[in-house]
Amino acid sequence: MARVLHIEDDPHSRRLVAKILRAAGHEVVETDNGLEGIRLAAEVEPDLILVDINVPDLDGYEVTLRLRSISSLAGVPIVAITAEGDRATSLAVGADGFIGKPIQARKFAATIEKFLGGHRESGSEERAGARELALRDRSQRIVERLEGRVRDLQEANARLEEMARLRREFLQNVSHELATPMTPVVGYLRLLLGEELGELTPLQRKCIQSIQRSTTRLRNVVETLLDVSALEAGRMHYYNRQYDLADVVRQAVERLQHEGDTSRVQLVVDPALPSAPATGDPDKIQRAVVHVLDNAVKFTPRGGRVAVGLAVGEDAVEVQVLDEGPGVAATDLDRIMEPFVQVDGSATRAHGGVGLGLAFARRVAEAMGGGISVEAAPGTPVAGLTLKGTLVRLRVARHAPAKLTEG
Ligand SMILES: Nc1ncnc2c1ncn2[C@@H]1O[C@H](COP(=O)(O)OP(=O)(O)O)[C@@H](O)[C@H]1O
Ligand SMILES: [Mg+2]
């Protein structure tokens, strides 16, 4: 029994060959494209390889050339199969034989046995010249194709760069267009609520307070857009001040309780938050912590708990936020740090957001000489609680890198 690798894009031919070979007691591994064929050849250690000349991506000649450069396949017969391919070229690129299509079952089986038994077709000496010509012709065509591919890639790359630029500009324009009209809205709301424009009836006050809450939400989204747009354009400006991360955490929690909907869950802040003095930009860090807290609260089901703690190290301090949400799959842990990536990005998803929170938090943490990490179901207690959800650690250096602006 032998193991035969068959590289062929036409399913009918694949089925026919598999049937014949299996009837003869052989094992068949098959694929419909050249690149996968090359990978499989190195992996499955075949006793014989059948290559269709007419396959997409790399053609059969190119596949054969490549297979011949894999040392573990030395001595493994490669047989080209084709309707219109050419024998001289097939042998020139390293095939040991050539079978024409259409395949005739009886003859095919016998030919395969011959190759498995050690038979090799070799062109006679007088054909050597023809072979050299075929090989050169083949190489020229490969280079031509390569040239075309490289050109395609360059074009695709230029298009991607253009799209990235447009995306940056769009983000910048949208955030500014949204931010500008917010200013009078916020200002007049403050005047109204301060009763500087006249006394309010209790009902009017309730309405305006409701408008203010919605406006605050809107402002937070716009603020995040502005932040990320500034980050992408490399225009983010950081201050360098002394602060205590414990205060920053408490303020972030307060801000979230004030502006967000935290009543659904129980927010447990470690009552013994250690003092964590550091230097850096406390306002940006606070916003980053709010984003992390917002996620924990958002993804934790009603009645669940979110634990908030602080770890103080020699060179770094770390905020820990542990929740009782669904956790994050291992394959998503890196992705979700990228701007706009949400595990569920569909319009029908259960949770709001634009996918910029973690991207912002990561950039801020990194600018402060730290970083952010997400772990699923970690088993580490935070504020005395061991919860089965996601643990996000936001770490900053005690002394932010010197390049920050003094302020
Ligand atoms: N605590 C968490 N639990 C589960 N999934 C999370 C958590 N935090 C973040 N994620 C995942 O990461 C994605 C990106 O988060 P983020 O950048 O804050 O954007 P947004 O909250 O706007 O979706 C979320 O959509 C979610 O899929
Ligand atoms: Mg978020």
d(CA 167, CA 173): 10
Which atom in ligand 1 lies closest to the alpha carbon of residue 355? 19
In whole angstroms, what is the distance from residue 362 CA to residue 293 CA? Answer: 14
Answer yes or no: are the C-beta atoms of 403 and 338 closer than 8 Å. no
User: What's the gap in Å between 292 CA and the centre of ligand 1?
Assistant: 8
**For ligand 1, atom 4, which residue shows the shortest CA distance?**
327
Measured by CA distance, the residue closest to atom 23 of ligand 1 is 355
Average pLDDT, the chain: 90
Report field, pTM of the whole predicted structure over 0.75: no
Ligand 1 close to Cβ of residue 358 (< 6 A): yes
310 lines ligand 1 (CB under 6 A): no
pLDDT at residue 344, as a whole number: 86
> What CATH number is associated with residue 56?
3.40.50.2300
Q: Please indicate, yes or no, whether residues 186 and 244 belong to a single structural domain of this protein.
A: no
Residues 268 and 334 in one domain: yes
The string of pLDDT tens digits covering residues 1-28 is: 999 999 999 999 999 999 999 999 999 9
- The reply to whether ligand 1 has any atom less than 6 angstroms from the CB of 306 is no
First vs last Cα of the chain: how many Å apart?
Answer: 78
What CATH number is given to the structural domain containing 328? 3.30.565.10
- Please check whether residue 10 is in contact with residue 42, taking contact to mean a CB–CB distance below 8 angstroms: no
220 and 253 share one domain: no
Mean pLDDT, range 220-226, rounded to an integer? 87
Closest ligand relative to 341 C-alpha: 1
User: Measured from the CB, is residue 336 less than 6 Å from ligand 1?
Assistant: yes
**Quick one: which of 248, 385, 249, 379 has its CA closest to 305?**
385
Q: What is the pLDDT of residues 76-120, one digit of tens each?
A: 999 999 887 788 888 888 899 999 989 998 899 999 999 999 999
Which residue's C-alpha comes closest to atom 21 of ligand 1? Answer: 353
Q: Which residue's CA is the nearest one to ligand 1's atom 19?
A: 355
291 Cα–ligand 2 center, Å: 5
Residue range of the domain that includes 160: 156-232
Confidence label for 309 from pLDDT (cuts 50, 70 and 90): very high
For residue 84, what are the contacts with CB-CB under 8 A and spacing of at least 6? Answer: 53, 54
* 302 and 251 within one domain: yes
Give the pLDDT score at 155. Answer: 95
